[in-house]
Amino acid sequence: MGMPALKRKKVRAPIRRKTGLAAVPIDKGWEAIKYYFHYEVDSKQVAEVIKAYVKKNWSKADAKSALACPEYKFKMFSHYAATAFMLDNPSFEFEGKLAEYPVALKRFVDGLVEEGKPLVKEKQEELASKNVIVLTPQQRMENKILETVGADLDELEDQWIMGEKTQLDMYNAMQRHDLKGMAVPFLVKRLTVWLEEYNDAYNKTCDQAVEAYSHITRKEQKRRIDAINKMLEDLEKFKNAAKAKRAPRKPKVKSADKQVAKMNYKKEDNDFKIASVNPTMLVGAGKVFLFNTKYRQLICLITNSASKGFEVSGSTIKNIDESVSWKMTLRKPEEMLPLILSKTANQIDKAIGNLTTKKAKANGRVNNETVILRVL
């Protein structure tokens, strides 16, 4: 008698656990959905959801502009991806306080469109010229703002949507992220748009805004308006503080050759038999004697800057102490000029002191009748 045949157990393949977008808990409510997108959906899928939403709901040109933005801008906002995903689910409705999420998502994408327009233009120019695009300082600054204070504002907006009565100390946020005063206009623009929406809802000047924020009490609308105005005030204070701390730009000192390059003076006079010294000697000097050959005027200029001495701009000698500089008309220049050219400073002062001619105030202007006699 043969052995009875053994019955083989039917082997069943293990059931695979759903992951990614296939496992979104759409029947467990918005908080569970948002939590799932934040912790279970990888950043690549977050970006794909937002990009698909943009392509579906914006014109081809605007979608191209939005998609030209850096990849991280699509990866870092899981709540926007959750919103875009559930907008395609007819069984889910954004009602009550959740109505702000589609509004915020649209505002986010509209911002990407505006930001991406110059990037598309630059890319087209790059293709035309085959040059590598280098981000401008302004674009680098805007990127830093979006990654720092911009992210803080996104978090604040999310908290408001969830009913929290939070605020953001914008002044401290700017300091914490080491932003400069030039970042202020970019943030003012964003907050102004935000403020206009709440003002339209509160004052009932825009039906769409009234409907979008109808689930928020007027008291809360007013609180948010005050919070935004406070952030704008903080930005103004930060800009003024940054301006006050800014180190003054040091003036670029020109070389002596460049300072006297355009100076108009008389190189030599045959009647008085005198010639000018090199005008570069004026730069940094403390005292100079000039002689105007047309009016026979002896001019003595003394500097008011012990550290810098004279500087020259065009045909004007600068850093003149007008209280001690002087000019006088010489009755006998043929006697005084050789003395100015050969004697010591004390001997010159003594000889001039013996003259009876009155002195007048002098300025630093030099012309083509002026000989630079001697620099001390």
pLDDT, tens digit (0-9, with 9 covering 90-100), for 116-131: 999 998 888 877 766 5
Residues 224 and 360 in one domain: no
Give 59's pLDDT tier (boundaries 50, 70, 90): very high
Residues 116 and 224 in one domain: yes
**pLDDT of residue 362 exceeding 80:** yes
What are the residues whose beta carbons fall under 8 Å from the beta carbon of 185, sequence distance 6 or more?
A: none
What is the tally of structural domains in the chain? 2
Q: What pLDDT does 369 receive?
A: 94
Domain carrying residue 100: 20-244
Q: Has residue 3 been placed in a domain?
A: no
Residues 194 and 159 in one domain: yes
Give 1's pLDDT tier (boundaries 50, 70, 90): very low
**pLDDT of residue 174 exceeding 60:** yes
Residues 325 and 220 in one domain: no
Range scoring the smallest mean pLDDT among 77-86, 239-248, 272-281: 239-248
Q: Of 198, 224, 244, which residue is a domain's last?
A: 244
Q: What pLDDT does 12 receive?
A: 56
Give 9's pLDDT tier (boundaries 50, 70, 90): low
Residues 237 and 278 in one domain: no
**pLDDT of residue 27 exceeding 90:** no
Averaged pLDDT score across all residues of the chain = 88
**pLDDT of residue 374 exceeding 50:** yes
Q: What is the pLDDT of residues 175-230, one digit of tens each?
A: 999 998 889 999 999 999 999 999 999 999 999 988 888 899 999 999 999 999 99
Q: Has residue 146 been placed in a domain?
A: yes
Using the 8-state DSSP alphabet, how is residue 98 labeled?
G
Q: Which long-range contacts (CB under 8 A, 24 or more apart) does 91-97 make?
A: 91/26, 92/26, 95/215, 96/215, 97/161, 97/162, 97/163, 97/215, 97/216
Q: Of 216, 244, 272, which residue is a domain's last?
A: 244
Q: Has residue 240 been placed in a domain?
A: yes
Residues 80 and 181 in one domain: yes
Q: Has residue 15 been placed in a domain?
A: no
Q: What is the pLDDT of residues 224-267, one digit of tens each?
A: 999 999 999 999 999 998 888 877 777 777 888 888 889 999 99
Residues 107 and 159 in one domain: yes
CA atoms within 13 A on the CB side of 222: 4
Q: Has residue 251 been placed in a domain?
A: no
Please say whether the beta carbons of 198 and 228 come within 8 A: yes
Which two structure tokens, joined as six digits, stand for 170?
């914008």
Residues 308 and 222 in one domain: no
Q: What pLDDT does 131 receive?
A: 56
Average pLDDT over residues 277-303: 92
Residues 271 and 228 in one domain: no
Looking at the chain, the whole-number percentage of residues with pLDDT higher than 70 is: 93
Q: Has residue 37 been placed in a domain?
A: yes
Q: Has residue 13 been placed in a domain?
A: no
Burial category of 124 from C-beta neighbours within 10 Å (exposed 0-12, middle 13-18, buried 19 and up): exposed
Taking the C-alpha atoms of residue 52 and residue 285, their distance in angstroms, rounded to an integer, is: 73
Q: Has residue 2 been placed in a domain?
A: no
Residues 109 and 218 in one domain: yes
User: pTM for the complete prediction?
Assistant: 0.42
**pLDDT of residue 162 exceeding 60:** yes
Give 13's pLDDT tier (boundaries 50, 70, 90): very low
Q: What pLDDT does 125 receive?
A: 80
CA dihedral 288, 293, 294, 297 (to 10 degrees): 40
Residues 129 and 195 in one domain: yes
Give 88's pLDDT tier (boundaries 50, 70, 90): confident
Looking at the chain, the whole-number percentage of residues with pLDDT higher than 90 is: 51
Q: Of 193, 217, 244, which residue is a domain's last?
A: 244
User: Which residue is associated with the tokens 């009876």?
Assistant: 356
* Helix (H) or strand (E) segment spanning residue 289: strand 287-292
DSSP line for 236-270: HHHHHHHHHHSPPPPPPPPPHHHHTTT-----EET
Residues 168 and 310 in one domain: no
